[in-house]
Amino acid sequence: MTRSTIPVFDGHNDALLSAHPAGRGRDIVQKGEEGHFDVPRAMEGGFAGGLFAIYVPAEAKTDSFRITTTENGWEVDYANPLSFDYASSFTNASIDLLTDAIARSEGKLRLVTTVEEYEEARRAEAIAAVLHFEGAEAIDPGLESLDKYYERGLRSLGIVWSRPNAFGFGVPFKFPSSPDTGPGLTPEGIQLVKRCNELGILIDLSHLNEQGFWDVEKTSNAPLVASHSAVHALTPTARNLTDRQLDAIKASGGIVGANFSVSDIRADARDDTDTPIADLVRHISYMVERMGIEHVGFGSDFDGAHIPAAIKDASGLQRIIEALEHAGFSSAEINKIAHENWLRVLKVTWG
Ligand code: ZN
């Protein structure tokens, strides 16, 4: 028996970093073998659309991502802040890369800024790219550039990556660890949340520490969103969400995009791709039980993390759908997780 492909909306990918010379410098329009996302492989997997992150890597080559083994886990050196000028030029170059990929895609990749545009892209069988920043370093504290990026299509913003900036403090990579690792948002961070609400820019809580999370929860009038996160009760990395955080996301009508990153979904938090899809299903099932079916989606972290070898890349998305079927989810439930929940949240947030 063959079933039709279920379309997937994905909360997070780093394909634009993969396309940048500072990443792999690879073509994300033509089919390749490297990395996780390119247009042909995404189409094969039923990837209908997603948040396309602009992640700005460390400025100095000496700021490497160094992992240290601890007595019962691991930790990574807390990353240094980025300068505004460097972050701005990297961000603009990454937007240009997306524009270029869209232009070369023969209509198969589109920038979307509204749910109507998303639906048009679906009808045209094009992949819908939502522009997202993973960290607000390219935004000036006076927020003038926020409006300019909005004009260029920005519709989703992570206040921080796992480093400090003018607006807040990212959670360090650490296992095991509480997400409560530092202070909350700065006064500029609170203003940023309010301005995103006014403009209708989604605010992403993934990579934010717990104090910052609660500051957004108190300030924002939009559904709370963690674009690529997993469950702290199952895998206690600092990046994952506690039950209280999951409850707050549910109460706001928001969503968690379940992260595929193996070090965030394995019980032992090892960075080992020999990880069954069942580990991802375990996190999704926990979230569904805790928050209800309406508040769970996908957040692959394609090209930003190691994912289970059985998924391999964007072409393997339907293997997760099959695993959810085997776990007993109905097709109505799977459609909610795969795309409907994300679309509901985007509609409410963008207005
Ligand atoms: Zn990330």
CA 279 – ligand 1 centroid, Å: 19
The helix (H) or strand (E) run that includes residue 109 is: strand 109-111
329: number of CA atoms within 13 Å, CB side? 25
Reduced to 3 states (helix: H, G, I; strand: E, B; else coil), residue 172 is coil
Asked if residue 1 belongs to a domain, the reply is no
Asked if residue 294 belongs to a domain, the reply is yes
CA 113 – ligand 1 centroid, Å: 21
Distance separating alpha carbons of residues 244 and 214, to the nearest angstrom: 10
Asked if residue 297 belongs to a domain, the reply is yes
Total of domains in the chain? 1
**Residue 136, amino acid:** A
CA 156 – ligand 1 centroid, Å: 13
CA 326 – ligand 1 centroid, Å: 29
For the chain, 351 residues long, give each residue's pLDDT as a single digit of tens: 457 899 999 999 999 999 999 999 999 999 999 999 999 999 999 999 999 999 999 987 777 788 999 999 999 999 999 999 999 999 999 999 999 999 999 999 999 999 999 999 999 999 999 999 999 999 999 999 999 999 999 999 999 999 999 999 999 999 999 999 999 999 999 999 999 999 999 999 999 999 999 999 999 999 999 999 999 999 999 999 999 999 999 999 999 999 999 999 999 999 999 999 999 999 999 999 999 999 999 999 999 999 999 999 999 999 999 999 999 999 999 999 999 999 999 999 999
CA 1 – ligand 1 centroid, Å: 37
CA 147 – ligand 1 centroid, Å: 24
State both tokens at 300. 């692959």
CA 261 – ligand 1 centroid, Å: 9
Q: Are 229 and 240 in contact (CB under 8 A)?
A: yes
CA 337 – ligand 1 centroid, Å: 20
Q: Quote the pLDDT of residue 60.
A: 78
CA 2 – ligand 1 centroid, Å: 34
Reduced to 3 states (helix: H, G, I; strand: E, B; else coil), residue 4 is coil
Residue 61's contacts (CB-CB under 8 Å, 6 or more residues apart) are: none
Asked if residue 84 belongs to a domain, the reply is yes
Asked if residue 296 belongs to a domain, the reply is yes
Q: What is the pTM of this model?
A: 0.98
The helix (H) or strand (E) run that includes residue 120 is: helix 115-123
Phi and psi at residue 39, to the nearest 5°: -55, -50
Asked if residue 2 belongs to a domain, the reply is no
CA 169 – ligand 1 centroid, Å: 14
CA 341 – ligand 1 centroid, Å: 20
The residues that bridge with 298 in the sheet, in sequence order, are 10, 258
Distance separating alpha carbons of residues 196 and 221, to the nearest angstrom: 10
Dihedral sign for Cα atoms in the order 113, 119, 120, 126: positive
Asked if residue 3 belongs to a domain, the reply is no
If DSSP states are collapsed to H, E and C, what string results for 211-239? HHHHHHHHHCCCCCEEEEECECCCCCCCC
Distance separating alpha carbons of residues 153 and 95, to the nearest angstrom: 9
CA 14 – ligand 1 centroid, Å: 8
CA 305 – ligand 1 centroid, Å: 8
Distance separating alpha carbons of residues 193 and 189, to the nearest angstrom: 6
CA 123 – ligand 1 centroid, Å: 30
Instruction: Provide the residue range defining the domain that includes 238.
Output: 8-350
Q: Quote the pLDDT of residue 2.
A: 57
CA 158 – ligand 1 centroid, Å: 9
CA 292 – ligand 1 centroid, Å: 24
The residues that bridge with 229 in the sheet, in sequence order, are 258
CA 239 – ligand 1 centroid, Å: 9
CATH number at residue 48: 3.20.20.140
CA 296 – ligand 1 centroid, Å: 17
